[in-house]
Amino acid sequence: MPGPLDGIVVIDLSRALAGPQAGMMLGDMGARVIKVEAESGDDTRGWGPPFVGPDHDISTYYLAANRNKESIVLDLKSDDGRDILTRLAQRADVLIENFRPGVLARLGFSNEHLHELNPRLIILSISGFGHDGPEGGRAGYDQIAQGEAGLMSVTGSGAEDPQRVGVPIGDLLSGMNGAFGVVSALYERERTGRGRVVRTSLLASVIGAHAMHGTNYLVGSKVGHAQGNHHPSIAPYGLFQASDGPVQIACAAESLWVKFAIAFGLDPAAPGMATNRERVQNREAVIAAVNGALASYTAQDVLAKLAEVGIPAGKVRSMDEVYDWDQVASQHLLLEVYHPVLGSITIPGSPIRLDDNAFSGGREVHLPPPGLGEHSDAVRAWLDDDRADG
């Protein structure tokens, strides 16, 4: 199965994580993704530890965002590099870039010129804070964007303890939004015959994920703040303590609260606890009551009892526990690929499955993250063949 984007050619000029994430998602769905790198390679090739391989020079960070791609090395300031990129742009369906605004134009490849070369080309441009506006030229890095876009203010143990999300969520969301925009533009092109420029940014992507925090302020005039591991609008919903460790419990409906309270000897109609509004207003008392009710149970016993009465709950797994979990394997979230240096390796797979196919993403055969310039000769030969055919 080649995947629903089989036949789509993507030129990935991006580096680090947001653009590469978008390119990888398109590659997972069957697109041919040609990653264009400088001689120094993608920044993430040097991000570590850990580094693996015989010479300990392969970054596991790089492996996370570059499966299903080919790599060609180009110097875009040279005549040869500009010539090859010109020919790639003429041949491609999609071009991804996350240079600072204006950099690609200064290299001779403005959006207008790219569309002169190929009117059907879809250009995905990912920036830190947007391509225009008073701060449109700012460099974008995930943690800075998390802070500037408000995410850190609602993450942490309290208002005085802002914390970054433990993964580069701004980058990842930008990649996802970018891939969605590209697929939308590809669908539109079927009607119009023309490409367009798709834009997103770390700022836009984090703000786009504010969910209720955005409407809480814009409509309700309430500024959210960090509240640790408890939901700002539902109680009890969060991380609680059994006798030997934490458990997560989500009483997201009044019926669930009643079941929970009865199961653990609490009065569901006690003063200050009868409705969700009351429980949120008396959050600390509710947390204390729930922790007190769980104190005589082990975490395993709590989870078993909650499952018995139908309360959504779970444990907090470490990464090794996650990847050893049979449910993860059943969802085809572990992808085995053959790497020319590392041999057979297992990496995280696509989060998307099509129909009930027993493989990750939209393609049956996946490519390992490429070595630097591994496909330079093959890509040049492909372009030469195409020129000869023309």
Q: Indicate the burial class of 25 (C-beta count within 10 angstroms; 0-12, 13-18, 19 or more).
A: buried
Residue 203 backbone phi and psi in degrees, to 5: -60, -50
What's the half-sphere exposure (Cβ side, CA atoms, 13 Å) at 64? 18
Q: With 0-12 CB in 10 A as exposed, 13-18 as middle and 19+ as buried, what is 119?
A: exposed
Residues taking part in catalysis = 171
Q: Can you tell me the distance from the alpha carbon of 362 to that of 352, in angstroms, rounded to the nearest whole number?
A: 8
Residue in the block written with tokens 């309360």: 311
Pair 26, 94: CB distance under 8 Å: yes
